Amino acid sequence: MSDTNLSETPAVAPATAPAMDPSLLAKLTGGLGDRQTVERICGDFGQLYTGFLPDVFHAETGIAIQIGYVGCESGLMTELVADLGDTFSFVNGGLRNWCPNFVLACGNAFVISLMELMLGGEEETIEQPAERPLSEIELDLAAMVFERIGSVLRSGVNAEGGFEPMLEPPHNADDRAKHEPEARTDFGAVVRLSIEMGKVKSELALVIPQRALLRTRVELPRPSGQIARSKQEWSDRISEQVRRSQVTLEARIRLEKLTLSTISRLAAGDVIGFEDKGDVSVQVSANGKDMYLCEFGRAGERYTVRVKDNIGSEQDIIKHLAG
C-alpha cells in the first residue's frame, strides 16, 4: 500500500476586533465634547480674560492693554500647540483639582515690546517688532506675564483647595519638543485672544484638554481679590534679571597692516604685530555692540584688558543686552 501525503490544514488566526475610533472613544469617556458646548465654555474663558486681565495688568505695571476674544478650535492637544507656530513662547502648566496639563502661549511681539517699555521706552514710539525667538532675559519677563495669565485662569475656574497654578519656565517654539512630557493624544481646545499695547498687536492662547474643559464652570472673580504690584516692582525685577544674566564678551585688537601678498603666504609660526606701538587698544563688545574701550595687559599668567572708557550709557547697554 502506498503512503498517502495529507496536506496540513493552516492555522486560522483569531479574529481581532477593529480598534475603536479615538474620537468616539474620547466622546464616550468624557474627553471630547460637542462643538456647541466647547464653544460656549471657550467663550466664557474669553469673557474672563477680556474683562479681567487688562485691569490686573494695569494695576501691576501701570501699562494699559486691550484683550479681545478671537475664537476657539478643537483638536488634538499636540496639534493645537504646533499650529500656533513659531512666533509664540510657551509654558506647560497644571492646576491641582482642575487640570494637570494645560498649555499657555504668548506672542513674542508682545514680550519684546513690553521689555522695551519696561526699560524706559515710550509707548508712543514703540512700533510692531519683527518676529523672532525670545532672548533669555525676555523669557524671564515672559515668565512674569505667564504668572498673570495663570492667576486670572485660577481665579475664574472652579478648582477646589485654593491652589496656585504650577508653571514651568517659558520656552521658545523651537525648544518645544524637549518640553513635551510624552506624546499625548488627548483632545483639547485652544482659546485664542488678541492683545494690544499701544501700536503693538499680538496674541495669547490657552490650550486646555477637553476632559478638564468640559467640567469647568467659569466665573468672573471680584477684582478686589487681586494683589496689586507696583510698576516699580516690575521694573526692579527686570533690572535685576538683566544684571544677573551671563553675557559673553569679545575683545578685538587691531594688528599691523599687511599686503595681500604677505597675508597669502603666512604659515604656522609667523608673527603679526599689534598696530599700536605703546599701550595696545582693545574694543570689547557683546552681542555685536561695542561696550568698552580697553588697553591690553597681563596679570600673572593671564592676559587681561583694563577698561579705559565706556561706549554708550548704562541704559543703552542694558537695552541692547536685553534684546
Domain membership flag for residue 30: yes
Q: Which pTM does this prediction carry?
A: 0.71
Boundary of a domain, candidates 244, 260, 291: 244
Among residues 188, 221, 244, the one where a domain terminates is 244
Q: Retrieve residue 157's grid coordinates.
A: 475656574
Is 283 part of any domain?
A: yes
- The domain that contains 79 carries what CATH number? 3.40.1550.10
Q: CATH number of the domain that 294 lies in?
A: 2.30.330.10
Same domain, residue pair 41 and 190: yes
Output the CA angle 139-179-46, nearest 5 degrees: 65
Instruction: Tell whether 8 is covered by a domain.
Output: no
Rounded Cα–Cα distance for residues 45 and 169 (Å): 23
Cα distances from 228 to residues 60, 144, 202, 232, in angstroms, run: 5, 13, 24, 12
Percent of the chain predicted with pLDDT > 70: 76
Which band of pLDDT confidence, cut at 50, 70 and 90, is reported for residue 21? low
- The answer to whether residues 190 and 79 belong to one domain is yes
- Number of C-beta neighbours around residue 286 at 10 A: 15
Strand partners, 205: 105, 192
Residues 219 and 296 in one domain: no
Residues 183 and 157 in one domain: yes
DSSP 198: T
Q: Output the pLDDT for position 299.
A: 83
Same domain, residue pair 289 and 183: no
Q: Are residues 44 and 167 in the same domain?
A: yes
| Beta strands 281-286 and 200-209, pairing class | unpaired
Give residue 73's domain range: 23-244
What tens digit of pLDDT does each residue of 190-234 get? 999 999 999 999 999 999 999 999 999 998 876 544 444 555 666
Of 244, 260, 283, the domain-final residue: 244
The pLDDT of residue 186 is 87
Nearest-angstrom CA–CA distance, 175 and 142: 15
Q: Are residues 210 and 296 in the same domain?
A: no
Decide: 95 and 102 in contact? Cβ < 8 Å: yes
Q: Are residues 226 and 262 in the same domain?
A: no
Report how far residue 307's alpha carbon sits from residue 288's, in angstroms, rounded to the nearest whole number.
18
**Do residue 183 and residue 278 come from a single domain?**
no
Q: What is the pLDDT of residues 137-153, one digit of tens each?
A: 899 889 999 999 999 99
Do both 110 and 206 map to the same domain? Answer: yes
Q: Which of 121-125, 284-288, 292-296 shows the lowest per-residue confidence on average (mean pLDDT)?
A: 284-288
Element (H, E) at 88: strand 88-95
User: Which H helix or E strand runs over 281?
Assistant: strand 281-286
Residue 32 lies in a domain: yes
Residue 302 predicted with pLDDT over 70: yes
Provide the domain count of the chain: 2
Domain assignment present for residue 97? The answer is yes
Q: Where does 158-239 show beta strands of DSSP type E?
A: 166-167, 171-172, 187-197, 200-209
